[in-house]
Amino acid sequence: MARDFVGSRHLAYRLLIRSLRSQYRQSLLGYFWVVIAPIAATGVLLFLSKQNVFRSVETTIPYGLYLFAGILFWQIFTDSYQRPIQWLSTYRLVMGRVNFPREALILGALCEVLIQAGVRVSMLLFVLLWLGREIAATFLLAPLAIMALIGLGLVVGLVLAPLGLLYGDVERGMNLIMVFWFVMTPVVYPPPVHWPASLLNQVNPVTPLVVTARELVFGTGLTQLGPFVVVSTLVIVTLFVGSLLVRLALPHLVERVSV
């Protein structure tokens, strides 16, 4: 499987360029959308909390920054789960015409996710520097947590991709689930400490990843290292299983949805 990924790198590169170029060509603000979306989301939520629409929470770092980092991490996660399905769906018809290495699609989608995540983390760094905050040494380790977040997103994406290509219900359902998942993840609030709300820390795999990423970025000490290691290990294993699943399912999918 690894050899197939290496063999498809040239095609993956071409497809990546294609995707990056055509994505924002029909828009005035172009690549700025990558920057605008999280800033707007942070602005709205910050405004709502200032108006006491939801109970404002105590955080050791300024709440705006806390929110901004959390939203960036959450967007990295949703990007990672959406991209593989999106790529497979875009090339659905081409897959039914030409027998090109399908690994290029997964590889290309992964590269696009990595680039976007890189932009988002740079943005966070830029904002921190701009605000004159001291950058914690642990910031250097943050990419580890980001990679785990990307990995988890890919696992969800790869496992859902076969079903999602067959049935439109999956996309609609996932849009719904993602709203709940967002609320269930400590993005706008700190991880709950009291039972039963604290149960979310144990059952939601995104929680330790988002929490750890944020703690590494701000250097506030690690509180969920154990769960983080467990989830990361599971991600590595299931990532392999997910790729295998897509590999086995693709010929059947092509037959059904690309005619």
Partner 1 sequence: MNSSSLVEVRALSKKYCRDLKKSLWYGLHDIGKEITGRRQNAEPLRAGEFWALRNVSFSLSSGDTLGLLGRNGAGKTTLLRVLSGVIRPDLGFAKVRGEVAPLIELGSGFSPLLTGRENIYVNAAILGLSGRIVNGLIDEIVDFAEISTSSTCLYRAIVKG
Site residues (vs partner 1, CB under 8 A): 10-11, 14-15, 18, 21-22, 25-26, 91, 93-100, 162-163, 166-167, 245, 248-249, 251-257
CB nearer partner 1, residue 41 or residue 106: 106
Cα 172 to chain center, whole Å? 18
CB nearer partner 1, residue 39 or residue 249: 249
Enumerate residues 6+ apart whose C-beta is below 8 A from 184: 200, 204
CB nearer partner 1, residue 88 or residue 254: 254
Q: Please give the DSSP secondary-structure letter assigned to residue 201.
A: H
CB nearer partner 1, residue 66 or residue 91: 91
Residue 231 Cβ vs partner 1, minimum distance, rounded to whole Å: 24
CB nearer partner 1, residue 231 or residue 253: 253
Residue 92 Cβ vs partner 1, minimum distance, rounded to whole Å: 10
Residue 145 Cβ vs partner 1, minimum distance, rounded to whole Å: 31
Residue 13 Cβ vs partner 1, minimum distance, rounded to whole Å: 8
Q: Please give the DSSP secondary-structure letter assigned to residue 94.
A: H
Residue 91 Cβ vs partner 1, minimum distance, rounded to whole Å: 7
CB nearer partner 1, residue 98 or residue 193: 98
d(CA 185, CA 70): 9
Q: Which amino acid is at 52?
A: N
Residue 33 Cβ vs partner 1, minimum distance, rounded to whole Å: 15
Q: What SS3 class is residue 91?
A: coil
* DSSP per-residue string spanning 95-153: HTT----THHHHHHHHHHHHHHHHHHHHHHHHHHHHTTPPPPGGGGGHHHHHHHHHHHH
CA dihedral 111, 116, 117, 121 (to 10 degrees): 140
HEC secondary structure over 218-236: HCCCCCCHHHHHHHHHHHH
Residue 9 Cβ vs partner 1, minimum distance, rounded to whole Å: 11
Residue pair 71/189 in contact by the 8 Å Cβ criterion: no
With 0-12 / 13-18 / 19 or more C-beta atoms within 10 angstroms meaning exposed / middle / buried, residue 149 is buried
CB nearer partner 1, residue 22 or residue 60: 22
